Amino acid sequence: MQSFRTEIENPVVEKDIIELANKIEQFKEGKIDEEKFRSLRLARGVYGQRQQGVQMIRIKLPYGKVSSHQLRRISEVSDEYSRGRLHITTRQDIQIHYVDLNRTPELWAELERDNVTLREACGNTVRNVTASETAGFDIDEPFDVSPYADALFKFFLRNPICQEMGRKFKVSFSSSDKDTGLSYIHDLGFIAKIQNNIRGFKVMLGGGLGSQPRHADELYSFLPTDQIIPLMEGVLRVFDRHGERKSRSKARMKFLLKSIGLEAFRALIETEQNAIELQSVPINHEDFPISKAVEIEAPKVEIKDQKTYELWKSTNLIPQKQDGFKAIGIKVLLGDFYTDKARALADLVETYAAGELRLTLRQNIVIPFVREDLIPVVYTELEKLGFTELGYNKAVDITACPGTDTCNLGISSSTGIARELETVIKTEYPEYLNNKDLVIKISGCMNACGQHNMANIGFQGMSIKTKDSRVAPALQVLLGGGNSGNGSGRFADKVIKIPSKRGPQALRLILDDYQLNSDQKSFYDYYTIQGEKYFYNLLKPLSDSTNLTTEDYIDWGSNHSYQKAIGIGECAGVVIDLISTLFLESEEKITNARADFEAKAYNNAIYFAYSSMVNSAKALLLSKDHSTNTQASIINQFDEVFVSTNLISLGTTFAELIYQINKNEPSESFAKNYINTANEFLTTVKEFRKDDLDT
């Protein structure tokens, strides 16, 4: 094991970081299966990059809030372990790239000095809890959702029920009925409501994007705030047990909900209630830290270009519900900025605002709590940093994922075409600088990290093959998506596929037609009237691939001929015994269960024991070449293959044994007995495996 140690005061965090260091060492020595190691490091924010031998690190920033000192810490880490560039994601995280895997534990330790975590930023876990970037100062909000997003984030961080699910799970909070948190595309979405003077949320369940977008269902029209954590625990338990695990493309919550239906899902949640320790979790919003603006005399500054300044105010200032304050929107091209500017920005908000920033779902930055008399000086300081570009959250503000720049899954460039389209709008359609009704988004592949299929105008990276068998970069054009508010939205239609280099021409055709014929309607409404076929015919001439030029075979931002390629995967290492790895994990889960039992965290202890039994059963099924899928199917299969055939005697069925978890309250006595049951089961299956190998 590595002798790596941290100086982190929190023993739970320190243990986590040391574990990552030790697992890296075990993986390098061939003691851990690659797939299991991948799962572990992803759950700790360490993600394989397209370029061989380096990692992308995702920093988890709940509801996009980051303080000045946290931003400085992130900047220091990026300079020391990466290349000084920060990337804002569409889930309000920050990513840094080109990090050596061996240095990730010490990087993590450095971040934790300012309470910044990597834990569960990637992997099959509860991802970053996002929220409206205006939470706390939104003029339309019935109350600030930040305390509730924060409480939910903390409750499920490191929670054993959501560490190894079939796929990721995404949660959002919206400040108002405008649904700026986009609840309808999330696994679980909360929209702030007040009913009879009681705070609560409208709850949306089972939304998602990707190649098969699904609109979330309304689970509750109103749920009091003390019920959101128990509800989510029930949802996660059901998803963990019944969610798809064999086919990754079908493993999201949306597919489970589509398969069994909303009412059947409700029934499964109800079945889990006995296992949930806390039936009510009050969240004291009054104890949540309140942002406080600085008290400073406004310096006198000279605005050299008054016309540009007034235009900037019209496009980049955000009203606040607090009298005398405005928020400032900073448009960050493609979400990329560098640490020198990050440090200067941290100093700026500490001096003239409330010492905090918000990262947005459109990859931008918001400075809240700027006194109105300080706006001129803040503007002049932002101008020095190049942070006064016009059009925050307007049509010119295009969202794009990293695409083929760094992502393994990228098919064609998303950042290159985004830059080109922004240039087209700025230079040829300046009237769109202040248009907030037209939303353009781009993804480098079907996975929709750029959220292209919920945009008014979306582009998805693809490729096309010509008659001479050459391959060129392409774009799927999607039109007509949009957020209708209050948990309702529409996904864009896939209209036509065109060579990527014709993307700017496609945008011109769409905007010219819209300006000429829309009669001042929003693009969303105009598309609804005209329909998919109209725009297909409009763009059809651009789809002809028989007349491609040499330039068409070169992707945006590249000087070389295009090659469709998934990025280089990570080294597989030596072949090891996966069954032994699974048994080792089962032992670790029982160790964790006992530790939580001693800490009187009986709910967590029981779930660790449950996970150990599922893991042990899976190991034995794999040893007999039986494919495994959902946890529920593993339990059923184990009975069919081993118990009903009398190969293994448990004194009862495995299902009866393991499903005690949802038939008993999480008491001390049940936890103790259940952990012992898990340990005895592990001993039984390991002995069976040993005898089987000796035969």
Q: What is the tens place of the pLDDT at every residue in 273-288? A: 889 999 999 999 999 9
**pLDDT mean over 369-378:** 98
| pLDDT of amino acid 6 | 60
Query: How far is it, in rounded angstroms, from Cα 335 to Cα 407?
Result: 15
| pLDDT of amino acid 571 | 28
Q: List, in sequence order, the alpha helices (H) in 132-194.
A: 146-156
Determine the Cα angle at 558 with ends 557 and 563, to 5°.
125
Which position has the token pair 């007509």? 480
| pLDDT of amino acid 46 | 93
**pLDDT mean over 191-204:** 98
- Which class for 350: exposed (0-12), middle (13-18), buried (19 or more C-beta within 10 A)? middle
Q: Are 3 and 105 in contact (CB under 8 A)?
A: no
Q: What is the pLDDT of residues 575-618, one digit of tens each?
A: 335 788 789 889 999 999 999 999 999 999 999 999 999 999 99
Q: What is the pLDDT of residues 622-638, one digit of tens each?
A: 999 898 889 999 999 99
Q: What contacts 687, CB < 8 A, 6 or more positions away?
A: none
Nearest Cα to 68, choosing from 384, 375, 349, 366? Answer: 349
Q: Are 181 and 216 in contact (CB under 8 A)?
A: no
Q: What contacts 328, CB < 8 A, 6 or more positions away?
A: 316, 317, 318, 366, 367, 370, 375, 378, 382
Nearest Cα to 65, choosing from 99, 36, 92, 104? Answer: 92
* 407 pLDDT tier (thresholds 50, 70, 90): confident
Query: How far is it, in rounded angstroms, from Cα 296 to Cα 303?
Result: 20
61: DSSP letter: -
Query: How far is it, in rounded angstroms, from Cα 481 to Cα 470?
Result: 32
**pLDDT mean over 137-153:** 98
Which position has the token pair 């199917």? 633
For residue 7, which phi and psi values (nearest 5 degrees)?
Answer: -115, 30
Determine the Cα angle at 476 with ends 475 and 482, to 5°.
125
Is residue 655 over pLDDT 50? yes
Is residue 34 over pLDDT 90? no
| pLDDT of amino acid 576 | 39
The full set of domains in the chain, from first to last, is: 11-112 (3.90.480.20), 130-287 (3.30.413.10), 306-384 (3.30.70.3340), 399-553 (3.30.413.10), 578-694 (1.20.120.330)
Query: How far is it, in rounded angstroms, from Cα 523 to Cα 479?
Result: 9
Q: Distance of alpha carbon 277 from its chain centroid, rounded?
A: 27
For residue 143, which phi and psi values (nearest 5 degrees)?
Answer: -165, 165
Q: What is the pLDDT of residues 242-264, one digit of tens each?
A: 999 888 888 999 999 999 999 99
Query: How far is it, in rounded angstroms, from Cα 417 to Cα 424?
Result: 11
- Span of 399-408, 411-420, 452-461, 593-602 with lowest mean pLDDT: 399-408
For residue 308, which phi and psi values (nearest 5 degrees)?
Answer: -65, -40
208: DSSP letter: B
| pLDDT of amino acid 565 | 62
Nearest Cα to 80, choosing from 61, 62, 100, 95? Answer: 100
Q: What is the pTM of this model?
A: 0.92
Is residue 454 over pLDDT 50? yes
For residue 518, which phi and psi values (nearest 5 degrees)?
Answer: -80, -20
Average pLDDT of every residue of the chain: 93
Coil, helix or strand for 577? coil
Query: How far is it, in rounded angstroms, from Cα 586 to Cα 611?
Result: 8
pLDDT over 90 percentage in the chain: 82
pLDDT over 70 percentage in the chain: 97
**pLDDT mean over 426-448:** 90
